[in-house]
Chain A
Amino acid sequence: MMQNQFKNHSIILLHGVFAVDFFDQLKKKNSKEVFIMEGRPSLEAAQMNCRELLKHKITPTLISDNMAGFLFFKNLVKEVWVAYQVSDTDGAICDIGALILGVLGKRHSVPIYLSPSNRRTRFLGKEKELLSFKNKTVAPKGIRAYVPLVEWLPAEYITKIFTTKMDKSGEAYTIV
């Protein structure tokens, strides 16, 4: 346990921007601990997911994108849900950051579930999106930035992909 704050394997971790019906299903899980990754550079995942969770009367806990590993290391994560845009039997295109979660899930034997996103994003963001945060410059002038917004998550890191709703077996298929 982490300073008695959280029980082992109690946290559901969300990454990416999910379709709205995902939250109806999540609510049925009655989880007390739902953690949201902020989703740099746009923070859209943080904003959208927090708004939907609050609407569903779930109080989210926000973490920075670099804090997921800590939760895994302390055995606090029960399952991870990643929003995907396109999938096939080899894997899925997800918001950037999914691969780190896949690697963590594999190492710590934590399931990585994929649920549809409600949007399609560009593959690359603009440099200026990363050079500032909430409209404040964070990097020195002249610094270059590389801003991938999506990445390929291979099937070996995915436990299950859900197509529309997560609890109807006819609408879900397993690829690993």
Chain B
Amino acid sequence: MDRQMDSHEQIRKLLALAVAGALGSEEEQFVARHLEICDECSDELERWRALAGGLRRLPTPQPSAAVVERARAQAESRLTEEMEHVWHRVVMLSLVLYAWILTSLTWYLFRLITGGLLARFEPGFNHSWLLFAAFTSLVWATGGVAAVLLGRHRQQERKMA
């Protein structure tokens, strides 16, 4: 009798979880077996089901169209900004990479044309020096463009903040 009462009390504690679909399979079977022989607990389960059903059917409050529209506008603006931010980062990285490649290339070209650093003292030095200067200028110009882009991007960020 006592064991039956214990089981009864245990089941009562599980009924709320049962209507929330939060029982494990063993617990579910335990509850189902008990409900087959206990009208009292079956009634109790019905009460929990009614409460759960009521919660499921609560009216859904809706945001006004103006609120949704404002949310959309703000989110769109931020998304556009984020995408620009990503694009700027890609451009910046590409430019830096490009600048490094050019710099390395310049060095190898310089060596190829002059035959080494000491060759700059040879008669062909003037011609090689011009090539080197042109490449270096290109590298610096690339860096300059990157700096300008970065500056403009930061300016935009400050404005948005």
Is A bound to B?
Answer: no
Q: What is B's interface to A at a CB cutoff of 8 Å? A: none
Q: What is A's interface to B at a CB cutoff of 8 Å? A: none
